[in-house]
Structure 1
Amino acid sequence: MAHAFDGKVAAITGAASGIGLATTEALIAAGARVVLVDRDSKALDAVCARLGANAIPLVIDLLDPASCNTLLDGILSKAGQLDIFHANAGTYIGGDLSETTPETIDRMLNLNVNAVMKNVYTVMPHMIERGTGDIIVTSSVAGHSAIPWEPVYSASKWAMTCFVQTMRRQLNKKGIRVGSVSPGPVISALLADWPEENLRKAKESGSLIEPKEVADGIMFMLSRPRNVTIRDMVILPSNFDI
């Protein structure tokens, strides 16, 4: 797959770490240029310095409406086109609803739901005009099963399951494929909010996967012939019981 994405431009939100970074590395290795979208400018600079000229930093705070609205203009000014958009940025809270706060709920839904919808709204006209494109959303297995210990997070990912499938039907006649990748627990910064005992048990039981393993699934989705859409890929650790 070394040259499979030559000439392609991808943009990935939350690209400075985790699944976003792993997917960036995979796409660059396959020949693409990647615009890394993240609010952490220092992390972006370090990652792009390591990955070279095909890694292009774009600092955007998706929780700031004015900054969020600059997404497509920023991508086009730096890379000239957009072939692949990966809406990956997200956040996590678990525990009983009574244990969280209204402010935390707002932040999660604004990033996991609203920002994704706004980002797709922003990039969609460019892809429609070109008659081609791929949109991938990072969802979660929590978007396919009601997880009682993470009601806000699970609800946000159920919303994404619905959004991806409705947008797939809206855009599939315009040359644009829309799909989602739904991992189980991934070793990433999001697990920082897990209870320490739960995290320890998950690691010991082999119930976690690496970001690269999710990126491999995304690369499979993107590399299918244009007449094939992988509408949703669920990627689980073999020992994860849900």
Structure 2
Amino acid sequence: MAENLTDKVAAVTGAASGIGLASTEALLAAGARVVMIDRDVKALNVAKERLGGNIIPLEVDLLDPEMCASMVDRIIDVAGSIDIFHANAGTYVGGDLVDADTKAIDMMLNLNVNVVMKNVHDVLPHMIARGTGDIIVTSSLAAHFPTPWEPVYASSKWAINCFVQTVRRQVFKHGIRVGSISPGPVVSALLDDWPAEKLEKARQDGSLLEPADVAEVVLFMLTRPRGMTIRDVVMMPTNFDL
């Protein structure tokens, strides 16, 4: 029997756009209340106005150490509890390593790896005390496929893939499920660094996913019976390999 998300509290990082916004919309449709976490206050307010009363916008710059460290307590303060945590926020560095800006590398590794680990670290005591919870991390096809045009980004997602699998084995005894969603290229701001000709060709070939496609799979993972964990989902456009 599918898990019912009615009245559950979900927190989604990077929620103002892309996969995070689509995940928010899917969770709302399934009956959850959603704490939308992002640093883009304007986009959060637009989403709140459009999506209605079950949205709680929360401004957090995850690269600010103090804001990152206080985030879980702030979520609990405004929502009362956390049933679902979707660690979705991330950024992208593509291209040849020799051409990459080292400051951009530092920022990406901090957001894609360190912040995810710290967020999960901070939410676990709350879920352990309650004896239940779901954690989903947005990973990437790059965690499973050695993509030659994005060695830095792919490395961050390989790290997260290992993190998800090992943490899951530590916490399942507490009734907590941990899984990752690994989409191929999704139409989002993360593709802004792609060369224009590559992006246009991908669109023409039908080799890009929409954020809503990913959100639909996230919802599938969350609604499985409690005795089942969907640990990894790798999804890609059918025409990805063209």
Same-fold call, TM cutoff 0.5: yes
Q: Partner letter of residue 155 of structure 1?
A: S
* Residue number in structure 1 paired with 2:128: 128
Answer yes or no: is 1:4 the counterpart of 2:12.
no
- For residues 241 and 74 of structure 1, what CA distance do their matches in structure 2 show? 43
Q: Which runs of 5+ in 1 are unaligned?
A: none
Answer yes or no: is 1:222 the counterpart of 2:226.
no
TM-score, normalization: structure 1?
0.98
- For residues 153 and 135 of structure 1, what CA distance do their matches in structure 2 show? 22
* Residue number in structure 1 paired with 2:91: 91
* Secondary structure of 1:81 counterpart: coil
CA offset at residue 35 of structure 1? 0.2
* Residue number in structure 1 paired with 2:232: 232
* Residue number in structure 2 paired with 1:81: 81
* Residue number in structure 2 paired with 1:46: 46
- For residues 210 and 63 of structure 2, what CA distance do their matches in structure 1 show? 27
- For residues 33 and 150 of structure 2, what CA distance do their matches in structure 1 show? 36
- For residues 217 and 71 of structure 2, what CA distance do their matches in structure 1 show? 25
- For residues 193 and 87 of structure 2, what CA distance do their matches in structure 1 show? 21
Task: Tell me the number of residue pairs that the alignment of Structure 1 and Structure 2 aligns.
Answer: 240
Answer yes or no: is 1:17 the counterpart of 2:17.
yes
Mapping 1:134-213, distance limit 5 Å? 134-213=134-213
Q: Which runs of 5+ in 2 are unaligned?
A: none
CA offset at residue 140 of structure 1? 0.2
By relative contact order (CA 8 Å, sep 6+), the higher-ranking structure is 2
- For residues 96 and 199 of structure 2, what CA distance do their matches in structure 1 show? 18
Q: Partner letter of residue 16 of structure 2?
A: A
CA offset at residue 235 of structure 1? 1.0
* Secondary structure of 1:239 counterpart: coil
Q: Partner letter of residue 150 of structure 2?
A: E
Mapping 1:29-40, distance limit 5 Å? 29-40=29-40
- For residues 29 and 7 of structure 1, what CA distance do their matches in structure 2 show? 11
* Secondary structure of 2:66 counterpart: helix
CA offset at residue 4 of structure 1? 3.0
* Secondary structure of 1:70 counterpart: helix
TM-score, normalization: structure 2?
0.98
- For residues 126 and 47 of structure 2, what CA distance do their matches in structure 1 show? 27
* Residue number in structure 2 paired with 1:60: 60
After TM superposition, where is structure 1 displaced by more than 3 Å over at least 4 residues in a row? Answer: none
